[in-house]
A and B are shown apart, each in its own frame.
Chain A
Amino acid sequence: MPVSESLPPHKAQKRTPPALWVALRHGDALWDALLWLSAALTTVLVFWIGWKLWVDSALSRAATGWDFVSPWAPPSWNPVLDKFHAWPAIYGSLVTSLIALLVATPFSIAVAIFLAELAPSRIRQILNYMVEMLAAVPSVVYGLWGIYVFLPLVVVPLGKFLGATLGQVPGLDVFFGGTIPDSGLSRLGASLILVLMITPTIAAVTRDVFQAIPQSQREASLALGATQWETTWRVLIPYGLSGILGAVILGLGRAIGETMAVTMVIGNTTGGGWSILRPGYTMASIIANEFAEAVSGMHTAALVEIGVVLFVITFLLNLFSRYLVWRVNRKVIVR
């Protein structure tokens, strides 16, 4: 080994060999540069994606402006006239995601309570694995099972029931009117598939939030004579509230971005009015369905612009949920 390398750095510097030469031979400068480059490229990637979509949607943005996302603009998704307003797809995404969230949230919190607070440790282990598995099942498999099992066995009967009850109530008939197709392909089907798909996500994050709450909080409450439920409801849930909200928003992001399973069960049409019993589109599913076949530049640009809307929504949701989770972590560390 050359003498200069085994000497302490300040002595090596005194002999002043060409610094660049030593650094390169040592390899660390190159290594550092490589690390920096990887980090920088990974960082830039997500913004490159956003910027690229923005540029490629220029044609559509110039032609339609804000009417593209406006609920009040005349609904039109017409490749023949080359006139594209995305509201029906946006509505589909909003309504399916919100219904999914409304059902999945209480459900997931209950699951998280059971996993974090009640389940005996052996069962807990197995259940935790099952929740992870549920989140790992590929979404096309959910879709296939949805078409042939879930829609006919669950969604169609439920849709008929809702149509016969809520569909008859004036005011509510806007959302529950019409009849569900025999195939079950509908916004309702998409919403319920989404419930199954986001429950594991929300439950797993909420479970982690509960597990991060110090044991002393539970003890303080139980020692006052509170029951386990009272402790959970009045201490643990308020304590973890912002973390739970973060989990829910993460779930909303998943629901809005979910593509395949929804595409397979929602029926894929730009019509359908407001009713959840009718088929429709979501933003993700309209891209999946039409992009490969889009002919005109305007059609393509319109689909890319929907991608921009999706990008912006998930960007904001992620930002918000990271902020909430970060706040919880900080609280846990400080205490």
Chain B
Amino acid sequence: MNAETNIFAGLDMARLDKRRRRINRIMLSLTAVATLFAVIPLFWITIYVIIKGGSYLNLDLFIHLPQAMGTEGGGVLHAIEGSAVMVLFASIFAIPPALLAAFYLLHHPNTPLANFLRFSTDLLSGIPSIVVGLFGYAVIVIVQKHYSALAGSVVLAIIMLPVILRSAEEMLKLVPQELREGALALGSPEWKSALTVVLPAAAEGVVTGIMLGIARAAGETAPLIFTALGNDNYEIFQYIRQTIQYRQGVGEAFKLILEQPTDALPLTLWKYAQQPYPERVQQAWAVALVLMLFVLSLNIAARLWLAKRRRQRYG
């Protein structure tokens, strides 16, 4: 048929094809096996933490402060409250500048500052959290001369900032330009259209980013070691009662809550995990369960929600 020489003339094509098919099958199966192995730790960790942590989980854990070392009972109320306070204040510190900076990127996408901002946001998310902790120590702990929930909140805010900023930028970009222009055409000032039209339109995406940022901050330990330090007696309700009782101002309550060493769940988990007292190790497992439930459910909720909204929007 072909005037040219057959390049496959000397080859046993049937055997060659069989061999190629076999290599194909083997390599593709290997990728499936690798995937299986990659997700095994998730099940292993999750199931182990659920079983182990579940068996030591009890109400006391949530309502009591720690007992003295080596004695049974007690809880981790101090760490739960500490985590809540620090994550809350970290969010308060991180969300406004992150959203404003995201709006800056939306309005001025190509200025030198915008490019610089994207670059340094990437860097910020790549810096080890322990290094952020060193920074928090230097600019707050040293200056105030004591460890505090405030210092912990600030380092957590620095860790949340790039997470929120990046996802907010993505989400704001998805809001149709016409929506913004429509508001401007009605004579509404830029800031009003941004806050009342663009932000609500992107709300679910922005909230998702905030949830991921909170999940990230709630699981962080390293930067808290020498900013929040830890405090077995941290109990905000007692501080509040105390200020009311002695008729001190709101400022005093805030001072008690923010200006003294504080514990956090991951910090407690880390300390308890390495102690020789079995009660502490048991509590560490229970704390791990609480922490994982919180972080993973926040993650799952954020992602499921986002996926659902995306499906609704793009069919």
Contacts and interface: CB of A to CB of B under 8 A. Distances in A.
Chain A in direct contact with chain B (Cβ < 8 angstroms): yes
B122 A304 contact: no
A118 to B, nearest CB: 6
A255 B266 CA distance: 20
B274 A264 contact: yes
Nearest to B103: A35
Contact of A317 (B126, B129, B189, B266): B126
A138 B45 contact: no
Interface in B98-141: 98, 100-101, 103-105, 107-108, 113-114, 116-117, 119-124, 126-135, 137-139
Given A38-B100, A130-B42, A133-B300, A291 B124 contact: no
Contacts, number: 260
A56 B133 CA distance: 14
Interface residues of B, number: 88
A53 interface: yes
Contacts of B190: 28, 31-32
- The binding surface of chain B is classed by DSSP as helix
A127 interface: yes
- The binding surface of chain A is classed by DSSP as helix
Contacts of A288: 130, 222, 225
B161 interface: yes
A175 interface: no
A131 interface: yes
Contacts of A139: 219, 221-222
A99 to B, nearest CB: 17
Contacts of A53: 131, 134-135, 138
A83 to B, nearest CB: 21
Contacts of B35: 110-111, 114-115, 119, 127
Given A134-B39, A284-B222, A145 B45 contact: yes
A119 B36 CA distance: 12
Nearest to B34: A110
Interface string A114-158: 110011000000010111111011111111110111000000000
A136 B128 contact: no
Interface residues of A, number: 90
A287 B130 contact: yes
B87 to A, nearest CB: 13
Interface in A189-203: 196, 199-200, 203
Which of B20, B49, B288, B303 has the largest number of chain A CB atoms within 10 A?
A: B288
B295 interface: yes
B208 to A, nearest CB: 12
Interface string A202-246: 010000000000000000000000011110010000000000000
A113 B138 contact: no
Given A113-B31, A318-B126, A140 B266 contact: yes
Interface stretch (B21-29, B174-182, B198-206): B21-29
A42 B120 contact: yes
Interface of B: 20-21, 23-24, 27-28, 30-32, 34-35, 37-39, 41-42, 44-45, 48-49, 96-98, 100-101, 103-105, 107-108, 113-114, 116-117, 119-124, 126-135, 137-139, 158, 161, 165, 187, 189-192, 194, 215-216, 218-222, 225-226, 229, 266, 269-270, 273-274, 281, 284-285, 288, 291-292, 295-296, 299-300, 303
13 contacts: A26-B189, A41-B97, A46-B124, A49-B127, A115-B35, A130-B42, A134-B41, A138-B291, A143-B270, A145-B45, A253-B126, A314-B123, A315-B127
Given A35-B104, A227-B24, A260-B266, 16 more contacts: A31-B191, A32-B107, A34-B100, A39-B117, A118-B31, A136-B215, A138-B292, A140-B291, A141-B45, A141-B292, A144-B49, A233-B27, A259-B130, A292-B226, A319-B123, A322-B122
